Amino acid sequence: MLAADPVVPADLLALALRRDSARPFLTWYQPATGARVELSVLTFATWVAKTCGLLTDELDVAPDDVVAVRLPAHWLGPVWAQSVWTVGARLRLPGDDGDEVARVVVRDAEEPAEQDAQARDLVVVRTAPLGGPAGTAAPSGALDYGREVPGQPDRFAPLGPPGPAVLDDDLLEQARHRARAAGPRARTLVVGERFDRDVLLDALLVPLLLDGSAVLVHGSPGPDGLTAIAAAERVEVTTGRS
């Protein structure tokens, strides 16, 4: 059953924690390296809480600020999206409309820096399987996510509930449409190169709405590889681009 209106991502994650905090929520594969990382609901929520602390305490992000996230299809992409919404800010992904200068840009530490000047603050993320500090890959003046986030608290208490503006007008409806097609508590295989709107929907919002889970594959291992992953992870629904 889909969660009732009104709903925001923070409410959905809190509900998932109350139902079963130990169950798998997001499993990430990188076929090129053979990496697999599994996050329970509690582990995912802890990463979100720490990232929220970073956004508010270190970067002074306020409600309705724009945070642009430019990451590959890595498990930290959903963490960042959930964190941005939880603090009441607006998420911008590659391909989204909007001319407003972002308060913060979050990018892969290995990504070229040609767009960094558009942000007031820059956060670089090391997208190795387990994250970690970017080290010398972090440019001068940038915040190194992997170095700073471990020291943040494991819980985050917002000053007030985020308003409806944190979500695009049609984003939640798109997620509901996909969730109805998937069915309750579905485990979904999501394939992509970048953390874009489709990956956001299928790897984060749809599982939250369904009390389900997602298997996110960065890149494509080919049809046989996807079949093997789907069988190993007991996937019911497959979506994404190879």
DSSP assignment of 208-224 equals: HHHT-EEEEEES--HHH
Regions of the chain where pLDDT drops below 50: 1, 4, 6, 241-242
pLDDT by residue (tens digit) across 48-58? 999 999 999 99
Tell me, what amino acid is at 35?
A: A
Within a domain: 148: yes
Within a domain: 124: yes
User: Percent of the chain having pLDDT more than 70?
Assistant: 89
Within a domain: 66: yes
The total number of structural domains in the chain stands at: 1
- Structural domain including 31 reads 9-240
d(CA 171, CA 206): 11
Within a domain: 56: yes
d(CA 96, CA 206): 19
Within a domain: 167: yes
Within a domain: 43: yes
Within a domain: 4: no
d(CA 74, CA 12): 21
pLDDT by residue (tens digit) across 114-154? 655 567 899 999 999 999 999 998 998 999 999 999 999 99
DSSP assignment of 119-178 equals: -SEEEEE--STT----GGGSPTT-EEHHHHGGGS-S----SSPPPGGGS-TTHHHHHHHH
Contact 42, 21 (CB under 8 A): yes
Q: pTM (2 decimals)? A: 0.93
CATH number of 168's domain: 3.40.50.12780
Within a domain: 28: yes
